[in-house]
Structure 1
Amino acid sequence: MQTTTSRYRLGVLEGDGIGPEIVPAAVQVLDAAFETAGVRVEWTRLPLGRSAIDEFGAAVPQHTLETLSELDGWLLGPHDSAAYPEPHRSALNPSGTLRKHFGLYANIRPAKSFEGTRAIVPGTDLVIVRENTEGFYADRNTHAGTGEFMPTPDVAIAHGIITRAAVERIARTAFRLARGRRKKLTIVHKANVLRLTTGLFRDVCREIAEQYPEVAVDDFHIDAMTVHLLRRAADFDVLVTENMFGDILSDLTGEIAGSLGIAPSVNASDEVAMAQAAHGSAPDIAGQDIANPVAMILSSAMLLDWLADRHQDDSLRRAGRIVEDAVNATVRTGTATADLGGSAGTAAFAAAVAETVRASA
């Protein structure tokens, strides 16, 4: 084993609900992978969520934002902002705050079925590339305040914003990803109705496609896409779409692949990235040691892969592959949480994956 000369600083934000269970599980597995691959990492634990509100008066304290700006990346647990007291409940939620503050424009959400689990569509192996800064999510498409307003108590209006610059940026991300996979990309839109907004999204993606002639491109309306995924998800490779469509489709594809508990994601700009499982905080099962940590663990592996590209560090890439392989091997041998048909608890599953990582050395 050769230890990398670089030392990386990674943040840990456990969040709410099952976050204090699944985020430490991911850290445990990553520590084993770092030891195996010879990667030097310094962890920085930071407050976020309800505990931060209680202690500091803010779901995302200023100190947390300032410290994150000095790190290479971080692991973000889920939040339960719907349960926050006002005015925090009505404010931009913690993940939205971090995405907007750090310009994390690309939300990459894979969906891949596991061998031996109950996938709705076996053989699913696709990636949704979601534009993360504008579209039809009101809290991300205005400079100040939200994109929603009520001219009267009985009328509510929301802005949906699509810009050429943002579409070009996310399209290039999606095409680069497709070029390294099976060289197929699908644009998802609703240009038959939202002609100007999602029509611009589709057309700009088509323009960028000319720069990637090796990638085959097609496109579908969002409603038709849900049907195609249920019938033949295994036929798709990379899907690129706007914010709200991507959020909805990635929950669907997570379940198609076997469980939302295995749905990872990474949110990235060109300079920094955060690992964040696609699922929520599941407060109804918090503290019971039954939450599936796979999505958080695989999100962390995605972060290592992103860092490997940014820093040209093969040891980071090896650590990420070790984590992914260990999760697959652990599930394949029958150790899994209840949502995947197993009986392991959160801590026991994480320990089994960490042991598999060490055995790979």
Structure 2
Amino acid sequence: MNDAVTIAVLDGDGIGPEVVPVAVEVATRALAAQGRTLIPIRLPYGATAIASHGQAVPAETLEALEEIDLWAVGPHDSASYPPELRSPAPGAVLRKQFGLYANLRPARAHGGVPAVAADVDVLVVRENSEGLYADRNMTIGSGEFMPTPDVAMAVGVITRGACERIAVEAFDAARRRRGHVTIVHKANVLRLTTGLFRDVCFDVAQRYPDVRVDEQHVDAMAALLVRRPGDFDVIVTENLFGDILSDLAGELSGSLGLAPSINTSATQGMAQAVHGAAPDIAGTGTANPVAMIGSVAMLLRWHGLRTSDAAVEAAADAIDGALAHVLADGLATADLGGTVSTGEFGAAVAAHVG
């Protein structure tokens, strides 16, 4: 087996150039401990790409990504771009261009970090290709439009095929976790769209008799996540609901700075933390790299499972273990009440995995 793992590195904006290299260094050390080499391929992306190429996602970046399965991508700060380049956002370009239909967002409490809910340990499996978001539901143009200056409308799209493939992701994940899937929808009001989502998920559930399945309306789900988060394992839902619930779950775990995420197709995966670019603290060395490190660990685990590569899976486990160990020891950046810098925190994690 080839011992090299290639990863595209797109630092992004704001704190991205601080947290992404830290995560890549941790992954390099974790893979080296398993006898593997990480080959990072840095590509232009975001504000620096606008300065050098005139666009946030240059053609050369898209062409390079065609040949690379794994990507570590920083946040974007498109609000700071020239007005004509703010839409579509760089992340949306990548998701749509490469069909990254599954967004996986875990949230769990960590020792050493004060959590709103100490028993939260959930995985939100979010359909990432359609729904109400305007950048994902039209072949050409936006799903939002204004027939008159006083009326704004949005098209929401739900398809059987997209529902089925995200349900499979959720039930497969549940088999690797605690064997429980909760289908979240709003079929009492959005009967046709989220009703289709619910029905297809229950159809897929028939293939997984070993997985317990139930359902919740999205508003009730938000309340229950706060009241008794320990009751839930894998939550599968459509795009907009998943975006909201995963942020809620991240805060329950202690901070969005802890919330990792990957976006995947069947063949390519993008590690991108849930949090934004935080331009107000960019360059200060105080950004929290936990979410980005965790995202890269998720990416390695996804790749290891997909390719049956136990060494890559072991590297992902080592990163998760190192994060837990360092946080439990009380090391933390300023957002979590600590005093260490971004680099110091990363160095501690890298030393532990090495």
TM-score of the alignment, normalized to the shorter chain, above 0.5:
yes
Give unmatched runs, 5+ long, in structure 1: none
Say if 1:305 and 1:317, in contact at 8 Å, map to a contact too. Answer: yes
CA distance in 1, matches of 2:213, 2:308: 29
CA distance in 1, matches of 2:5, 2:319: 17
Match of residue 215 from structure 2: 219
Say if 1:105 and 1:269, in contact at 8 Å, map to a contact too. Answer: yes
Match of residue 265 from structure 1: 261
State how 1:110-259 maps to structure 2 within 5 Å. Answer: 110-259=106-255
Say if 1:117 and 1:341, in contact at 8 Å, map to a contact too. Answer: no
Match of residue 42 from structure 2: 45
Displacement after TM superposition at 1:6 (Å):
3.5
Displacement after TM superposition at 1:357 (Å):
1.3
Of 295, 307, 316 in structure 2, the residue corresponding to residue 299 of structure 1 is: 295
CA distance in 2, matches of 1:251, 1:77: 18
Q: 1:35-80 CA distances to partner (integer Å, 9 max, x unpaired)?
A: 1111122110001101111110111001000001111211000000
Say if 2:20 and 2:292, in contact at 8 Å, map to a contact too. Answer: yes
CA distance in 1, matches of 2:182, 2:262: 20
CA distance in 1, matches of 2:275, 2:245: 13
Displacement after TM superposition at 1:341 (Å):
2.8
**What amino acid sits opposite 2:29 in the alignment?**
A
Q: 1:102-143 CA distances to partner (integer Å, 9 max, x unpaired)?
A: 101000000011012111000211100000000111110110
CA distance in 1, matches of 2:2, 2:94: 30
**What amino acid sits opposite 1:305 in the alignment?**
R
Displacement after TM superposition at 1:158 (Å):
0.4
Overall identity of the aligned pairs, in %: 56
Q: 1:7-31 CA distances to partner (integer Å, 9 max, x unpaired)?
A: 2221000000100100011011111
Q: Matched residue pairs, number?
A: 354
**What amino acid sits opposite 1:241 in the alignment?**
T
Displacement after TM superposition at 1:189 (Å):
0.7
Give unmatched runs, 5+ long, in structure 2: none
Matched, 1:35 2:32: yes
State how 1:269-280 maps to structure 2 within 5 Å. Answer: 269-280=265-276
Matched, 1:63 2:60: yes
Q: 1:145-177 CA distances to partner (integer Å, 9 max, x unpaired)?
A: 110111111111100000000000000110000
Match of residue 104 from structure 1: 100
CA distance in 1, matches of 2:45, 2:90: 7
CA distance in 1, matches of 2:168, 2:227: 28
Runs of 4+, deviation exceeding 3 Å: none
Match of residue 54 from structure 1: 51
Displacement after TM superposition at 1:302 (Å):
0.5
Match of residue 74 from structure 2: 77
**What amino acid sits opposite 1:173 in the alignment?**
E
**What amino acid sits opposite 2:307 in the alignment?**
H
**What amino acid sits opposite 1:256 in the alignment?**
L
Match of residue 86 from structure 1: 83
CA distance in 2, matches of 1:155, 1:245: 24
Say if 2:28 and 2:37, in contact at 8 Å, map to a contact too. Answer: no
CA distance in 1, matches of 2:211, 2:56: 42
